[in-house]
Amino acid sequence: MSFTLTETGLELYNQLKALRADIAKEEVIPVYYVFSNTALMDMVVKQPIDEATFLTCEKVGQKGYDRYGERFIYLIRQFTLTHKGPYYKGTPDYSKSYHSFLTEEGRRLLEQLKISRLSIAAVHDVEPTIMVNDQTLISFVVLLPYSREEMVRIYGVTKDYRDLYMDTFIKIIYNFTHGFKKRLYHLDMPRPRFTLTKEEASHFRYQEKMTATNIAKELNRIASSEITCSATDITKLVKKYDYYKNGFDNTVIISDVGKAFGLLKESRLTKNNEHYEMVLYSKEAQNKIVQWFIDQ
């Protein structure tokens, strides 16, 4: 079954996009600097209302949560109070392995909790993920509750089933960590690096001027890598070297090294006839970006 949002899910998605647009306008940055569309879509799927769950959303890291997370969580919490699911149908094809969020040690603890969940569910004849879902297990790994009082405060611990597993899970967590709480998750979500072979790079179709989005699409067209490249990946690299920065009133400031790199800018109009400046990449800049991604 293909993945689609229901009418309710689409309504939440549009509200998240509106909030993102408001934040981008406040900070005078492009909307994708806040969160990507994929991140917003995963928020609809997971409906995170706490930090631990929010950090499992696709392309969301600690920095993004620290800057914007609470505002998105508040919106989601208010929405889910008045709107019942389902929010989507099918399985998202972008879904991220939770393992990428947890450290190796955190993954081992998660696996122990999953094994214990299966055993407890079998004894009580209940569906394991109905008793306690994967997102809640991840919250246990992140927050490491050592008592019932700590565990019941975690979102996803329901009154209907918590007495079946709380004492067992608390014992597993305490024994695994030897009573010492530590971080078993990555502060910033690690992302595998997109790469090209030299042969693939030779098939890049250069244009006089391209946007970062179009460059990313062309890179993905020619690459065999399972990891995709995004416009954000390109702009992050470019900004890392101080080639340009965003100014006030939707303007762009290209540095001298950025000009030497081959960056250009154009003035454009929004649908509301508001002026803004967009960064474009000359053929020279396109070639340098392609070289960045060649796997040496």
57 & 115 share domain: no
Max avg pLDDT among 63-72, 78-87, 96-105, 281-290: 281-290
What angle (nearest 5°) sits at the alpha carbon of residue 153, between those of residues 150 and 157? 105
Residue scoring higher pLDDT (123 or 4): 123
Q: Is residue 43 part of a domain?
A: yes
Q: How confident is the model at residue 93 (pLDDT cuts 50, 70, 90)?
A: low
Q: Is residue 239 part of a domain?
A: yes
Q: Is residue 11 part of a domain?
A: yes
Q: DSSP states of 77-98 as a string?
A: HHHHHH--S--EES--TTPPPG
Strand partners, 4: 89
With 50 as the cut, is the pLDDT of residue 17 above it? Answer: yes
Q: How confident is the model over 78-100, as a mean pLDDT?
A: 71
DSSP assigned state of 228: P
Q: How confident is the model at residue 274 (pLDDT cuts 50, 70, 90)?
A: confident
Q: What stretches of 21-149 adopt beta strand conformation (E)?
A: 88-89
Residue scoring higher pLDDT (283 or 111): 283
Percentage of residues in the chain having pLDDT higher than 90: 34
Q: How confident is the model at residue 31 (pLDDT cuts 50, 70, 90)?
A: confident
Question: Mean pLDDT over all residues of the chain?
Answer: 84
Q: What pLDDT is attached to residue 112?
A: 93
Q: What pLDDT is attached to residue 53?
A: 80
With 80 as the cut, is the pLDDT of residue 263 above it? Answer: yes
With 60 as the cut, is the pLDDT of residue 78 above it? Answer: yes
105 & 158 share domain: yes
Written as six digits, the tokens of 256 are 């001298």
CATH number of the domain enclosing 55: 1.10.150.80
72 & 136 share domain: no
With 90 as the cut, is the pLDDT of residue 295 above it? Answer: no
Total Cβ atoms within 10 A of residue 42: 22
Q: How confident is the model over 282-288, as a mean pLDDT?
A: 94
Strand partners, 185: 102
263-269 and 244-246 as β-strands: parallel, antiparallel, unpaired?
unpaired
129 CB-near residues (< 8 Å, 6+ apart): none
Q: For tokens 């293909």, name the residue.
A: 2
Written as six digits, the tokens of 64 are 């993004």
Q: Is residue 185 part of a domain?
A: no
Q: How confident is the model over 140-157, as a mean pLDDT?
A: 87
169 & 246 share domain: no
DSSP-based three-state secondary structure for 147: coil
C-alpha to C-alpha distance for 170 and 199, rounded to whole angstroms: 53
Residue scoring higher pLDDT (188 or 128): 128
| Among candidate residues 60, 89, 118, the one where a domain is terminated | 89
Instruction: Provide the residue range defining the domain that includes 289.
Output: 198-293
Q: How confident is the model at residue 218 (pLDDT cuts 50, 70, 90)?
A: very high
Q: What pLDDT is attached to residue 97?
A: 43
Residue scoring higher pLDDT (257 or 175): 175
21 & 80 share domain: yes
**Region class of 144: left (phi > 0), else alpha (psi between -120 and 50), else beta:** left
| Among candidate residues 57, 89, 121, the one where a domain is terminated | 89
Q: Is residue 193 part of a domain?
A: no
Count of domains forming the chain: 3
54 & 119 share domain: no
Q: How confident is the model over 161-182, as a mean pLDDT?
A: 93
Q: What pLDDT is attached to residue 190?
A: 43
279 & 262 share domain: yes
Q: What stretches of the chain adopt beta strand conformation (E)?
A: 4-5, 88-89, 209-210, 244-246, 252-254, 263-269, 275-282
Contact of 171 with 200, CB cutoff 8 Å: no
Q: How confident is the model over 17-40, as a mean pLDDT?
A: 84
Q: How confident is the model over 119-124, as a mean pLDDT?
A: 92
Residue scoring higher pLDDT (250 or 112): 112
DSSP assigned state of 68: I
Q: What pLDDT is attached to residue 186?
A: 65
With 70 as the cut, is the pLDDT of residue 215 above it? Answer: yes
Select from 97, 15, 31, 24 the least CA-distant residue to 231.
31
| Among candidate residues 46, 72, 89, the one where a domain is terminated | 89
C-alpha to C-alpha distance for 163 and 107, rounded to whole angstroms: 24
